[in-house]
Amino acid sequence: MFISPVGPLFLAASNQGLVALEFDARLPGQQTIRPNPRDLREENKRERNRAVRFEVRLEESAGVMRPYVCELEEYFAGERREFTFALDLRGTDFQLACWRALVAIPYGETRTYADIARVVGRPQGFRAVGMANNRNPVAIVVPCHRVIASDGTLCGYGGGLDIKRKLLELEGALTGTLAA
C-alpha cells in the first residue's frame, strides 16, 4: 500500500512490470486484483466453464515495489511527467489498444472518449472505450483520468471525480469547463 496525496493506492507487479495500481476505496462493481472470498466463489463458478485460468499469488515486497513508488512520489511532487517502468497489462485486444492510446495522451492534456475511439479504429465505440477505461488495471500510470466527456466535462472515474479533478489539477490540465 502506498499512501499518496489522493489516498491509499494498492500496487502489484509481476516479473514483467506493474500489473495493478488501484485506489484503496473502489466504487461498487469495480474490478480488483485483490482477492475477496465472496468474489472468488463466483469467479470459480464462472471459470469452471472456461478453459483459461491463471493464479495470482500476492507477496509483500517493499524492495520490488520501490521503483514504482519512487516514480509515483515524483509524479505527485510534480517532478515527473512520464513513467518509465514496465507495465504488464492484461486484457482483451480492444482493452489493450485503448490502454495504449491512454498512455499516449501527453501529461497535462485531455482527450474525449470519442477521440480514443477514433485512435483505436472504432469511431462509434466511445461507450466501449468507456468500459475499457473502467477496466483499466493501472490507474494514474495508464492515465484514464485524462479522458473527459465530449462536452468538456469530467465524467466516470474509478477513483471518483474528486480524485480525477485533483490529478488533472496536478498536471495543469484543468481549463475552461473542466475547472468549473
Q: Which helix (H) or strand (E) holds 19?
A: strand 18-23
Please state, in angstroms and rounded to a whole number, the distance separating the CA atoms of residues 160 and 136: 14
What 3-state class would DSSP assign to 138? strand
Please state, in angstroms and rounded to a whole number, the distance separating the CA atoms of residues 157 and 162: 9
Please state, in angstroms and as integers, the Cα–Cα distance from residue 31 to each residue in 23, 79, 135, 167, following that order: 11, 30, 7, 21
The yes-or-no answer on residue 144 being catalytic is yes
| Of the candidates 24, 79, 91, 27, the residue with the CA atom closest to the CA atom of residue 54 | 91
Q: Which of 70, 98, 144, 155 is catalytic?
A: 144
Please state, in angstroms and rounded to a whole number, the distance separating the CA atoms of residues 129 and 116: 7
What 3-state class would DSSP assign to 2? strand
Catalytic residue numbers read: 144
